[in-house]
Structure 1
């Protein structure tokens, strides 16, 4: 089984997201957070999270990039439970039993996005608000296709 982990190439996520995800957390698309958004909700850091942010399924922060990785069944089961609990505590799901199938669907959707990609493939998300709702598109960047300035952190002695 494959899922994706948050990844950071630099500190920009800390500047563009209200709640940046730490590196290495399991991630899902997380577009459900924006299901009731309108143009008036899309400004500043909320706009950036909407446009390009993956949702950490552990700490519920946002990340610009995720990388495909293998996940063990026990880790996956824990993610489903944690996400279901998040739906109860933050989105008003009546209980864990009602939230579990929705959490399962979110994890399964991410698994489907990752299934045909090799480990370490980078994934990016792009969202736009349309008349019919939120439209998501996804792009994969193979490790060998990434240009050096995309994956390298440049440091100077100054």
Structure 2
């Protein structure tokens, strides 16, 4: 079973999101956060979170890139409980037992998406508001297509 972890290539996420996700934390789309948004809500850092941000399941911050990797069932169960608690604390779910199936569905959707990709595949999300609600599209960048030279800073330690 696979899920995605937050990955950073530079510090830009710390500047563009109101609350950035931590490198390495498990992530899901988190589009539910925007279900009642309108164009009036889309400004500044909130616009960036809406447009391109995955949701971290520890900090509940946002990140631009995630990388597909293996996850074990005990980790999945813990994430489900954490997300269910988030639904109670932030979104007013009546209790964790009522929130758990919804949290499990959110995580299952992300697992299903990740299972279609090889480990280390990078994923991005793009959202737009439509008359029918929030529309999400995803892009995958295969690990072999994302060469290190695209992101590495080259130099010498001898200088």
- Cα offset, 1:58, TM superposition: 1.4
**Separation (CA, whole Å) in 2 of partners of 1:17 and 1:155:** 30
**Separation (CA, whole Å) in 2 of partners of 1:106 and 1:151:** 31
Which residues in structure 2 correspond to 1:18-97 (within 5 Å)?
18-97=18-97
Task: State the Cα deviation string for residues 14-50 of structure 1 (Å, max 9, x = none).
Answer: 0100000110000000000000100000000000000
**TM-score normalised by length of structure 1:** 0.95
Instruction: Pick closer, same or farther for the CA change 1:95–1:126 going to 2, 3 Å.
Output: same
Number of the residue aligned with 2:144: 144
Q: Match of 1:68, SS?
A: strand
- Cα offset, 1:147, TM superposition: 4.9
Number of the residue aligned with 1:117: 117
Structure 1 residue ranges without an equivalent (≥5): none
Whether the 8 Å CA contact 1:9–1:153 is kept in 2: the answer is no
Number of the residue aligned with 2:9: 9
Task: State the Cα deviation string for residues 72-93 of structure 1 (Å, max 9, x = none).
Answer: 1100000000000000000000
**TM-score normalised by length of structure 2:** 0.94
How many pairs were matched up? 157
Instruction: Pick closer, same or farther for the CA change 1:136–1:150 going to 2, 3 Å.
Output: farther
Whether the 8 Å CA contact 1:65–1:123 is kept in 2: the answer is yes
Number of the residue aligned with 1:108: 108
Structure 2 residue ranges without an equivalent (≥5): none
